Structure 1
């Protein structure tokens, strides 16, 4: 059962598609209070209770013991000390002494103190007086998730080829660089379906342009790659370069499509191209206009995109950098002591994503000006909706790959997500794994992390172990940053190990695509905590390094360096499948703890007793997979 409680006049976020009659806040069943424009409510927890949810966030599957914030943030340092990442997924669920779920539909900042201040209490603070809260009761966690998912609408489904292996880097700066990647994978006989184009494919980092010196005759080039079975996936950013004569900027200025300052002038901040304006994606006519701009690249044969920098990320504002330079001038010639030096340092390092700058942005909603802080968390979702709605109208369903960095519940209907700029750290393999069920709860089925890690230098074994988890994630993309080690699979020694792992992915694609579509159609999850299936098993309830996959399988990746295997807990008798290229080894195991050896070129998969999964023969491209002749193992 779902109950809806409304306070004030909430902004329409589009998160919930189910029509419900709102109840009076006086009947809200939790202890609550309004103070200084914020609404707080609490519920108690007992020892052994688990709190699930919050989608893309740090720490564990069980969210107890920390304070989280829903505030879409451009922050590449995904450490345990952080409270927010790129997304705002305002769904949590208590399991144990009571079973219920809560969804806070509010695009302003929301704080979740889950047993941090008081170990036996969850305290939720909504930084607004205008919101909807949904309370879901009447079942155990799997049923509660399905009811929530039914209320927020069906998840996005990408094209079939988007389940193939994808290679990205900031940046393959010209056609020759892209060709070297494709040729490297072809020489190593490693499957590949997509190559990504980061900001350098653009002319001066301007959206919906192509650098013709780097990619001459881009349309012919795109179609030539398509003939090879390779899809090129360009990036689109939220900021529009301020430049007279640039058609996108000129149209936005002429029609008043950009976000404003309080005085009605256009809000400006620096990002990749320098000073930019930012489309007001909360307005339907702006979304329609911006979505239509993708046609420029669609006409060139592009059939996939990734939206980035849409929290929105702000490198600096004119006001902020002016104040910083004034401070520097004032400090010139002074003998700076400890406090003086760190003050100047903090002024410049604090230029990016300043709260003062976000607070100076205004949107137009139904003819009234609304401060950005009231709607911050749906800005990126609005950008994604602009593209997704246009693609659905012009291209039809399941034709265009689209995923985004920033997101809010509701965006799951038009796009997938990736988990942002992670690091080449072993701990981020587990962080990726723990985000998967939480993202699925919120409707984001097409998701994944930057395999191998985006920031820092990856080691060969880290990339292989990351890939062995990525074999199972719908989005399987290797992505790395400028200035880091080349981590394309074809650039390491013994490329046959990488081929073995990625061929496992291609053999599993019919199975993975099937469980994806089933999860979408039945409002279910692809990845589940073990506790969902084995709620009375204490070890399973506390396990955070293994996940259930579909109805019949369990995954348990190796996540430590120099480890030749790992300990795995089986909550029932299962078969261990060791998958490597075309090879399959099957080992019967009984319920309990087992240490399993896993070579770097092997992918472990556990299958429930009496169940079998389909495998096809691998191919270099998804288009060449024979999905009609399957082997069941």
Structure 2
């Protein structure tokens, strides 16, 4: 962005942005810019001027455009509940699509309000009064409280209005629909602008139904151990609401993280459809290469690539068949009373149970297995060395070191993995048609494997569904993919 203006490129920093985007793509790096909910108020800025001219912004009670402060300073909010304004805003994404951008991240779209201009003016006037006073404990508390209440003040959401098909609507009555309709604006625009191409889209704010247009990340969390567990809880909850494409800020957004926290968080995050490490300005930097144990971080990210054939297959089958990619144990084992009480383990697809470590200094954790399963221990600091052992149903203490991931494979199930003959640097390096199978199938098993080109929209072609069978002697057959059996 140029000075936080939506749908702009800073010409000084990126004088040849389309060439830069193409160069990054050639290296397996796809750029995903932020689009904020607030449009900067600035003469000469075409998005602002078009919005004012056509009445596309939310208004005050008197019909004048509502002014709030967000990243760029003073902004107007596009009226996302007005169909004409929504179509206009969606059309703006073309500016970046034309320069090679294939993914977007809608942000600040609750919408967040740093301040409402009306409240800010009253605050400044009051500060002038306080400036002439001797601030005692009561007046000082009132002063600091007044400033603290500027951001996201509940009453400010009662100040502006939308023009909807049902008539004029005060924002606080329809607050949860704003982020939904901002991403809807993008999703509907992509169908017009790129009808045959998938465009990545995820949003910070949403409500039920927005999964039709994009996914979400789970908001501005903190570098707290408890937030690993919170991220785990949110995965099946969001799946129940239709949101399959989701994930947290790995390592935590706010606060200062630690190396062990980030490693443990990746132990969960590699199973999320959306995997990203993200942190706030001013916090301790947490990119994996900044830590001492680079081999462990490289290994766990390599494991993510190896798991992608299974993750993508289970994700797409859930999306196409209205299922769940991630579900509580009770959904998979409805007759098991104890499974209903387990809230720190989940099923990933049809084959895997995961039980990540989420407590500081823990060298392992207790795990409940509703049935006999194959324990899979991956030592990712040792080139993803895999050890397996069969565990009976019941309660177990499972040691898990910092450089390990442990998960569990159901009996009679298969786990398709990418081959790891070379270091995988990006998804483009993953061969989805040449697989190895991790199996726990003493009596044989079958698996419906989904794979496509990942770019076009012919999702339900029959040839995308590959049938893999394994007989009791360990011989694998497939109608299309090449498979090698392990385990």
TM-score, length basis structure 2? 0.87
Higher relative contact order (Cα pairs below 8 Å, separated by 6+ residues): 1
Which blocks of at least 5 consecutive residues in structure 2 are unaligned? 439-487
Distance 1:355 1:423 in 2: 23
Which blocks of at least 5 consecutive residues in structure 1 are unaligned? 1-201
Distance 2:361 2:384 in 1: 25
Task: Determine the structure 2 residue equivalent to 1:610.
Answer: 412
Task: Determine the structure 1 residue equivalent to 2:433.
Answer: 628
Aligned with residue 125 of structure 2, among 307, 326, 331: 326
Residues 166-204 of structure 1: CA distance to partner in whole angstroms, max 9, x if unpaired? Answer: xxxxxxxxxxxxxxxxxxxxxxxxxxxxxxxxxxxx111
Task: Determine the structure 2 residue equivalent to 1:451.
Answer: 250
Task: Determine the structure 2 residue equivalent to 1:595.
Answer: 397
- Asked if 1:473 is matched to 2:272, the reply is yes
How far does residue 398 in structure 1 lie from its aligned partner after superposition?
5.8
Task: Determine the structure 2 residue equivalent to 1:315.
Answer: 114
Task: Determine the structure 1 residue equivalent to 2:479.
Answer: none
State the SS of the aligned residue for 1:232: coil
Residues 38-83 of structure 1: CA distance to partner in whole angstroms, max 9, x if unpaired? Answer: xxxxxxxxxxxxxxxxxxxxxxxxxxxxxxxxxxxxxxxxxxxxxx
How far does residue 367 in structure 1 lie from its aligned partner after superposition?
7.2
Distance 2:122 2:79 in 1: 26
How far does residue 567 in structure 1 lie from its aligned partner after superposition?
1.1
Task: Determine the structure 1 residue equivalent to 2:171.
Answer: 372
- Asked if 1:271 is matched to 2:70, the reply is yes
State the SS of the aligned residue for 1:613: strand
Task: Determine the structure 1 residue equivalent to 2:469.
Answer: none
Counterparts of 1:546-625 in structure 2, within 5 Å, are 546-579=345-378, 580=380, 581-618=383-420, 619-625=424-430
CA RMSD of aligned residues (A): 1.3
Distance 1:307 1:242 in 2: 19
Task: Determine the structure 1 residue equivalent to 2:234.
Answer: 435
Task: Determine the structure 2 residue equivalent to 1:541.
Answer: 340
Task: Determine the structure 2 residue equivalent to 1:213.
Answer: 12
Residues 570-624 of structure 1: CA distance to partner in whole angstroms, max 9, x if unpaired? Answer: 1111111112344221111011111112122222111111222111124111111
Note if contact 1:363-1:372 (Cα within 8 Å) is conserved in structure 2: yes
Counterparts of 1:247-396 in structure 2, within 5 Å, are 247-366=46-165, 368-396=167-195
Note if contact 1:500-1:602 (Cα within 8 Å) is conserved in structure 2: no
Note if contact 1:233-1:305 (Cα within 8 Å) is conserved in structure 2: yes
How far does residue 498 in structure 1 lie from its aligned partner after superposition?
0.6
Residues 441-490 of structure 1: CA distance to partner in whole angstroms, max 9, x if unpaired? Answer: 11000000000111111111111110110110000000011111111111
Aligned with residue 217 of structure 2, among 405, 415, 418: 418
How far does residue 311 in structure 1 lie from its aligned partner after superposition?
0.4
Q: How many residues align?
A: 432
Counterparts of 1:168-183 in structure 2, within 5 Å, are none
State the SS of the aligned residue for 1:439: helix
State the SS of the aligned residue for 2:74: strand
Note if contact 2:83-2:164 (Cα within 8 Å) is conserved in structure 1: no
Note if contact 1:570-1:590 (Cα within 8 Å) is conserved in structure 2: yes
Residues 480-514 of structure 1: CA distance to partner in whole angstroms, max 9, x if unpaired? Answer: 11111111111111211011111111011010111
Note if contact 1:582-1:617 (Cα within 8 Å) is conserved in structure 2: no
Task: Determine the structure 2 residue equivalent to 1:242.
Answer: 41
Note if contact 1:261-1:267 (Cα within 8 Å) is conserved in structure 2: yes
Runs of 4 or more consecutive aligned structure 1 residues displaced over 4 Å after TM superposition:
none
TM-score, length basis structure 1? 0.67
